[in-house]
Every structure is written in structure tokens, then in C-alpha cells.
């Protein structure tokens, strides 16, 4: 890269550029060197600053937990996550791809529509309703596999948000369901946030009256805990 202004600074450093030498020239040279060092340092830092400012579109594909069920729009997961990421210096737009009541099959069926905004990265948060309905974990795993494969085919980096099944379907179902998320993350080489409702599930003060959907305080905890994982995700697309 050609930087003509550096030649001008170098010329200014010459002792006789203003027709004097000696002590005055030495002082002038010292000042000029400091200016030059500052310019070079600024140029070295410029690429990383520009990278951090790259606009990113992040799709949050999920169910009511993403959609913000029972909350005012500013209280939901998506706007609060976007605000947290912007505070960390990311020029990011988080796309709300949440549909209340959606299952993994529903998320798969609307995938073309969800990708219409051409996201750079995605959080995949689906399966909670599969678990509540006792859907075969093998079916949930297959649906999520197809979503992940589509993301990867489109060059979209993925963070898989895990879910846990309610205990009322028995230990065998619970074990199979809970294990499908780590298995998918390993099989496809993607990042895993182990449990989307970590720190919030079964805490009455952090959930709405139904005991399932987080309230505003619960959303704050979810965002706080998942943000480091999302930060890593965004850095991978810079």
C-alpha cells in the first residue's frame, strides 16, 4: 500500500529541511519521530478496528423463547442480545426468527423464509416444544441435522442452543433427548451453548406465570450467559 504522506514526514525529519541544523535539528527530529511512530501505530491498529466494525447479520432461529412470548418487544431476547453485542463493539443486526409454538419440524419447514435476509451467522434454538410434546428425539435430531446442514451449505456459522426435556417422560426419553444436542455439535463441528434456559429454568422469580417462559429478568440472565458464546461466533465471521 502506497502511503505518500509518510514520505512527506520523512522529508520533514531531514535536519536541513528548514535550513538549520545542530540542536534545533535534533529537537525537530525527535518530534518528527514521535509523529511518525504514532502514524505507523495507527496504521497497524486500523485493520483490526475495521474488522470489528464489519456489519453482521445474525439469525436467531427458534420458538417462543426467541420470539419473546408474553413480553413487550424491547424486553425480548433478540433486542437485548443485539444491544449486548453492540456494547461489545459489533455492528450486528439480530434477526428475530422465532415463532411461538414452533417445533424442530416447523423450523425446518420455514427455513427458506428464515434465510431470506442472507445472515452471516445463526443461533439455532429449537426443540423445546418437541420435548414438551414427547416427540421422538430421533425425529428432532433429524430435523435439526437438516437445518445445520443447510446453514453450513450456505456458509453460515452456527451456534446450537441446547435444550433439556421435562422429566415426566421418564429417564430413557430424557437421556436420549438431552444427549442429541452435544451429539449434533460434535458431528457437525459447531459451537454448543449447552442449555438455553441455564440459570432460569424452574426459577419462579425469573419466569412468567406459566413457569415456562422467562420474564424480563429471566431474559437478562439468558442474554448475559449466552453472550460470550455469541461473541465467539461473531468473531469467527469477521
Question: Which of 7, 48, 64, 120 is flagged as catalytic?
Answer: 64
- Torsion angles phi and psi, residue 160, rounded to 5: -90, 125
User: Apex CA 170: angle with CA 179 and CA 191, to 5°?
Assistant: 15
Active site residue 64: yes
- Answer for the pair 49, 41: CB distance below 8 angstroms, yes or no: no
Question: Which of 16, 112, 205, 210 is flagged as catalytic?
Answer: 210
Alpha-carbon distance values, 175 to 131, 164, 165, 169 (Å)? 11, 9, 8, 10
- Torsion angles phi and psi, residue 9, rounded to 5: -65, -45
Active site residue 213: yes
What's the number of CA atoms in the CB half-sphere (13 Å) around residue 230? 32
Question: Catalytic residues, which ones?
Answer: 64, 210, 213
Amino acid at each position: 500500500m502506497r502511503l505518500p504522506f509518510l514520505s512527506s514526514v520523512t522529508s520533514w525529519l531531514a535536519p536541513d529541511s528548514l535550513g538549520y541544523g545542530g540542536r534545533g535539528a535534533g529537537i525537530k527530529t525527535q518530534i518528527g519521530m514521535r509523529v511518525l511512530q504514532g502514524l505507523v501505530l495507527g496504521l497497524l491498529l486500523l485493520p483490526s478496528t475495521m474488522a470489528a466494525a464489519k456489519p453482521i447479520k445474525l439469525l436467531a432461529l427458534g420458538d417462543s423463547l426467541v420470539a419473546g412470548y408474553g413480553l413487550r418487544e424491547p424486553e425480548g431476547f433478540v433486542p437485548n442480545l443485539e444491544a449486548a453485542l453492540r456494547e461489545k463493539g459489533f455492528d450486528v443486526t439480530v434477526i428475530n426468527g422465532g415463532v411461538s409454538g414452533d417445533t424442530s419440524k416447523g423450523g425446518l419447514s420455514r427455513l427458506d423464509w428464515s434465510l431470506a435476509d442472507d445472515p452471516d451467522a445463526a443461533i439455532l434454538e429449537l426443540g423445546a416444544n418437541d420435548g414438551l410434546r414427547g416427540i421422538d428425539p430421533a425425529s428432532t435430531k433429524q430435523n435439526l441435522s437438516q437445518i445445520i446442514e443447510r446453514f453450513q451449505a450456505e456458509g453460515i456459522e452456527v451456534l446450537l442452543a441446547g435444550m433439556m426435556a421435562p422429566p415426566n417422560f421418564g429417564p430413557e426419553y430424557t437421556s436420549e433427548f438431552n444427549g442429541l444436542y452435544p451429539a449434533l455439535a460434535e458431528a457437525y463441528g459447531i459451537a454448543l451453548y449447552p442449555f438455553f434456559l441455564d440459570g432460569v429454568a424452574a426459577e419462579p422469580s425469573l419466569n412468567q406465570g406459566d413457569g415456562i417462559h422467562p420474564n424480563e429478568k429471566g431474559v437478562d440472565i439468558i442474554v448475559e450467559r449466552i453472550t460470550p458464546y455469541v461473541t465467539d461466533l461473531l468473531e469467527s465471521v469477521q
